[in-house]
């Protein structure tokens, strides 16, 4: 339990949740001390029917196993409620945690190590200390506005706030509106105007209306597709976009260090600083000219997006991409011609070509480690694992952020990129499949969009 406590606290600290880490350490330490002290104080002997294998000679009440596991389980349930948005995953996690606690409790009883009252007492002791600690330590991330000086305003603003929401991406629309309204009022913003995306219009029309109505900030809550549509429409207007990540990938938010915790993301949108980032124009056969913020791909990566089962995705989130990737690992290599800027085209055989505006893709994979979202340059990576086992050294090199290039991994950079395949090949933009085709062209527009990022 000490090892588990240290590991959990370190993970929380790395993710900048220091108050949650402090609560974890306080709860586990106080539970261990209180359990040991109570055992010595009451001095209750072990049950006479205790199994002789590994016989315990110390005192019985309360059960140290039950108290430690109950305290740790309470902390895990709290973290699941705070940081896991998907209801199905949250329920699954809580079920597994409770099952683990019950298994340990029954283990102590069936081995004869404890009386039932020992197990109950240990659990109640742990839960009492957890709630006492929770009353004094708030595990939620703190607001940047509470610890940072206000940013100077270049011009006078009425601080008009428009919110564009994909309603299927939040569990409780009413609760979300209440949180945004309260935090906006506290930060000095006007009462927000609300617009909801639809299947027919995933955000373009709503963003246009927000710009026309004179919004000083547009907050968009949804997945990468919704964010892309809103950002593309507001590019060049000078209106900053506050991103509230609520999808499965949330690639743009992750690369901008926008927190995934709902209240923290809203806080960054309301009180963060503006950053000018690049936008990428993209076109190709069979698709209308559009934009992307994160990446475009042709081949294996697009086949993954195309093969994701939406029903499974709704239930288990990003794990659905892993399932699809395993099915698509031996996607056939395609002969591809690539032209960078005004250079002569080069011909390659590849299983996938990814053109990125950012460095980190799904699951934090550093596929384009040198990419920056505000450098005016696109990064291209060409992957060609010849055999199934070739994926292993490829993955090792990617995770090590190796800059070496050869037939397995080739890298290019430029402000304009054109890709032509000899046969119809799956394509994707920002994780959304756009169907098969033979061509994609892309041009990076430097510093085209303002987004709110942490200070």
Query: Domain holding 223: CATH number?
Result: 3.40.50.10330
Give me the CATH number covering residue 336. Answer: 2.60.200.40
Q: pLDDT at position 365, please?
A: 74
Where is the domain boundary, 216, 239, 271?
271
Q: CB–CB of 374/278 below 8 Å? A: yes
CA 214/CA 340 separation, integer angstroms: 39
pLDDT band for position 266 (50/70/90)?
very high
The pLDDT score that the predictor gives to residue 121 is 94
Domain co-membership, 319 together with 423: yes
Is the same domain home to 219 and 251? yes
**HEC per residue, 422-453:** EEEEEEEECCEEEEEEEEEEEEEEEEEEEEEE
pLDDT in tens, 361-380: 766 678 888 888 988 999 99
Q: Read off the CATH number of the domain in which 118 is found.
A: 1.20.144.10
Confidence (pLDDT) at 437: 92
| Whether residue 437 sits in one domain with residue 343 | yes
Residue at which a domain ends, from 222, 251, 271: 271
What was the pLDDT predicted at 156? 47
451 in any annotated domain = no
Give the tens place of pLDDT for each residue, 284-305. 998 888 888 888 989 888 887 7
pTM of the model: 0.75
Average pLDDT estimate for 16-38: 93
Angle at 315 between CA 313 and CA 317, to 5 degrees: 45
The stretch 90-108 carries a mean pLDDT of 93
CB-CB contact of 430 with 398 (8 Å):
no
Query: What pLDDT was estimated at residue 346?
Result: 92
**Do 434 and 312 lie in a common domain?**
yes
Q: What pLDDT digit, counting tens, does each position of 406-445 carry? A: 888 899 999 999 999 999 999 988 878 888 999 999 999 9
Q: Which of 142-146, 197-201, 337-341 is predicted most confidently?
A: 337-341
Please tell me the distance from the alpha carbon of residue 395 to that of residue 363, in angstroms, as a whole number. Answer: 13
Same domain, 181 and 237: yes
Q: Are residues 425 and 289 in the same domain?
A: yes
Which residue range forms the structural domain that includes residue 251?
A: 144-271
Whether 318 and 242 map to the same domain: the answer is: no
Residues 327 and 372 in one domain: yes
Is there a contact between 427 and 298 (Cβ–Cβ < 8 Å)? yes
Q: Say how far apart CA 429 and CA 355 lie, in whole Å.
A: 10
The pLDDT tens digits for 134-158 are 999 989 887 665 555 555 554 546 7
Angstrom distance (rounded) from CA 417 to CA 403:
20
Number of domains in the chain: 3
213 and 293 assigned to the same domain: no
Dist. CA 188–CA 150, nearest whole Å: 11
222 and 262 co-located in one domain: yes
What does the pLDDT look like over 401-410, one tens digit per residue?
877 788 888 9
Domain stops at, among 248, 271, 294: 271
Same domain, 239 and 302: no
Residue 454 placed within a domain: no
Cβ-based neighbour number of residue 48 at 10 Å: 6
Range name among 41-55, 94-108, 162-176, 184-198 with the lowest pLDDT average: 41-55
Does any domain span residue 358? Answer: yes
């Amino acid at each position: 339990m000490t090892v588990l406590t240290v590991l959990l606290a370190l993970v929380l600290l790395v993710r900048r949740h220091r108050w949650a880490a402090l609560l974890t350490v306080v709860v586990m330490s106080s539970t261990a001390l209180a359990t040991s002290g109570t055992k010595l104080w009451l001095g209750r002997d072990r049950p006479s029917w205790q199994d002789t294998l590994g016989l315990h000679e110390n005192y019985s009440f309360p059960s140290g196993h039950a108290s430690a596991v109950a305290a740790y389980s309470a902390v895990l349930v709290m973290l699941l409620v705070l940081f896991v948005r998907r209801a199905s995953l949250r329920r699954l996690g809580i079920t597994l945690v409770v099952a683990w606690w019950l298994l340990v409790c029954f283990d102590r009883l069936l081995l004869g190590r404890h009386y039932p009252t020992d197990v109950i007492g240990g659990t109640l002791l742990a839960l009492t200390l957890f709630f006492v600690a929770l009353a004094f330590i708030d595990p939620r991330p703190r607001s940047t506005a509470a610890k940072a000086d206000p940013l100077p305003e270049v011009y006078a603003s009425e601080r008009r706030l428009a919110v564009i929401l994909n309603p299927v991406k939040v569990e409780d629309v009413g609760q979300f509106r209440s949180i945004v309204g309260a935090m906006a009022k506290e930060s000095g913003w006007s009462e927000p105007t609300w617009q909801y995306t639809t299947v027919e219009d995933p955000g373009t029309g709503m963003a246009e209306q927000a710009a026309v109505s004179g919004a000083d900030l547009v907050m968009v809550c949804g997945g990468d597709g919704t964010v892309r549509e809103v950002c593309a429409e507001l590019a060049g207007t000078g209106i900053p976009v506050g991103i509230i990540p609520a999808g499965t990938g949330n690639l743009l938010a992750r690369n901008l260090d926008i927190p995934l915790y709902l209240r923290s993301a809203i806080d960054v949108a309301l009180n963060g600083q503006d950053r000018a980032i690049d936008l990428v124009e993209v076109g190709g056969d069979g698709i209308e000219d559009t934009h992307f913020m994160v990446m475009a791909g042709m081949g294996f990566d697009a086949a993954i997006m195309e093969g994701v089962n939406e029903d499974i995705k709704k239930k288990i989130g990003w794990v659905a991409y892993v399932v699809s990737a395993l099915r698509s690992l031996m996607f056939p290599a395609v002969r591809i011609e690539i032209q960078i800027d005004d250079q002569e085209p080069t011909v390659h055989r590849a299983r996938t070509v990814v053109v990125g505006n950012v460095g980190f893709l799904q699951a934090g994979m550093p596929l384009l480690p040198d990419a920056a979202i505000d450098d005016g340059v696109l990064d291209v990576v060409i992957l060609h694992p010849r055999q199934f086992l070739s994926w292993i050294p490829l993955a090792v090199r990617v995770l090590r952020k190796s800059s070496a290039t050869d037939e397995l991994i080739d890298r290019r950079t430029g402000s304009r990129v054109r890709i032509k395949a000899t046969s119809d090949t799956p394509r994707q933009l920002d994780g959304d499949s756009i169907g098969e085709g033979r061509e994609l062209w892309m041009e990076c527009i430097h510093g085209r969009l303002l987004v709110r990022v942490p200070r």
